[in-house]
Amino acid sequence: MNLQLRPANLGEILDRTASLYRSRFLVFVGIAAIPAGALLFFAAVCFLLSAWMGAADPATAILLGMAILGVVLLAIPVCLGLTALGSGAISQAASKAFLGERITIRSAYRVAWKKGWRYVGLLSMEILFLAVIPFTAWVVIVAAMALLAALGRQAGAAGSDFVTLQSVLLLLLGFGLVTYFFWMLVRICLAFSASVVEQLGAWAALKRATTLSVGTRGRILVLYLLCGALSWVVSVVLTLPVMVALSLIPQLNTPQHQQTMGALFLFLMYGASFASQAFIKPVSGVALMLFYYDQRIRKEAFDIEWMMREAGMEAPQPAPAAAETWRPVDGFPGNTNGAQLEPAPEKATGETR
């Protein structure tokens, strides 16, 4: 029996997350490093082409610009696919680790590869709800406000009043979109866990995540805030010492080496972003899987179901009601409504038998 199959509070979930992460550190980091490394590779290629384009002649600069555009167009589907596979593989590894089963980087990606299109669709729908819809709303509302401002100026209204009103409306709009982002995030964040464990499609996983997240969304929001703070700390720890060391080198603090210093700092930021994603992404993935199982234990008695499964028993499933065909009873030829009739009891006649 797995002693972890019981309801847990936020502190216990965070403690279990740290324990599982430490126990399979190389597996989780190796899984997360693949999509993070792909993003770092494409970013570095675009940076090198941009630096080359700045020192090239016009004809070469046009070709390099087209090459950058091609790299970006290639990077979008590749990074989307690898990120989806990585999220599925992390969820797979977290589920196996929670249940005490063995998992490797290769096996996690092999399982995720078989459901690759499902995970790509799920990630695309998450991006749609979390980024595309808010961005579209922002563009539409800002364009409408700009149009109203132009009409107001044509009507001779005071410009300062419109500027103040626009500033207030933009502030409220930004606050509303940020609120929407976090509200939607905590609703659908368990979708990958549900899809991996229950083998659900993209839309079914989103609906399942919305149902399971009820009652624990506040705790999940705290988890995301902690992961954001941890990611910032990791970035600072990795970048600050190197930046201080580079600034203390006298040969680099000259106008001739300003471009070199800028390139070094940019590569340093890319490297810190890669390390942050590789180290922090598994933390949220493991924690979300623990939240998923915790909600199933609270709502669906998953701990009892798992113990029955481990003992070789299956939870009783309600059998579907099957229509039975009854033959008319002898002596009742008019019985055609599908029910078996019994002869009526004989009335007492007072005779002793």
pLDDT band, residue 207 (cuts 50/70/90): very high
Taking residues 285-310, report their average pLDDT.
Answer: 84
Residue 88: pLDDT over 60: yes
Q: How far apart are CA 52 and CA 74, in angstroms?
A: 20
How far is the CA of 51 from the CAs of 71, 98, 129, 262, in angstroms?
15, 47, 35, 11
Task: Please state at what angle helix 159-188 crosses helix 202-212, rounded to 10 degrees.
Answer: 90
Taking residues 258-270, report their average pLDDT.
Answer: 70
- In the numeric block, the tokens 């720890």 are attached to 237
Identify the pLDDT of residue 244: 75
pTM (predicted TM-score): 0.79
pLDDT band, residue 343 (cuts 50/70/90): very low
If one compares 326 and 278, the residue with the highest pLDDT of the two is 278
Identify the pLDDT of residue 82: 95
Helical spans, DSSP H, in 115-155: 116-127, 133-154
Q: Is 41 exposed, middle or buried (0-12, 13-18, 19+ CB in 10 A)?
A: middle
Q: Which two tokens stand for residue 178?
A: 């940020």
- Within its chain, how far is the Cα of 5 from the centroid? 23
Return mean pLDDT, the chain.
81
Q: Is 231 helix (H, G, I), strand (E, B) or coil?
A: helix
Percent of the chain with pLDDT over 70: 77
pLDDT band, residue 345 (cuts 50/70/90): very low
Q: Which two tokens stand for residue 193?
A: 């866990």
Selection from 237, 266, 309, 324 nearest residue 47 by Cα:
266
Percent of the chain with pLDDT over 90: 45
Taking residues 266-284, report their average pLDDT.
Answer: 83
Residue 320: pLDDT over 90: no
Selection from 214, 225, 231 nearest residue 32 by Cα:
231
How far is the CA of 131 from the CAs of 53, 100, 124, 182, in angstroms?
31, 36, 10, 11
Q: How far apart are CA 275 and CA 90, in angstroms?
A: 16
Q: How far apart are CA 115 and CA 75, in angstroms?
A: 21
List, as one string, the DSSP characters of 163-207. HHHHHHHHHHHHHHHHHHHHHHHHHHTTHHHHHHHH---HHHHHH
240-249: long-range contacts (C-beta < 8 A, 24 or more apart)?
Answer: 242/268, 243/268
pLDDT band, residue 157 (cuts 50/70/90): low
Residue 304: pLDDT over 90: no
Taking residues 187-207, report their average pLDDT.
Answer: 95
Q: Which two tokens stand for residue 333?
A: 């030829």
If one compares 247 and 74, the residue with the highest pLDDT of the two is 74
* Per-residue model confidence as pLDDT tens digits over 52-79: 877 777 888 888 889 999 999 999 999 9
Q: Is 87 exposed, middle or buried (0-12, 13-18, 19+ CB in 10 A)?
A: buried
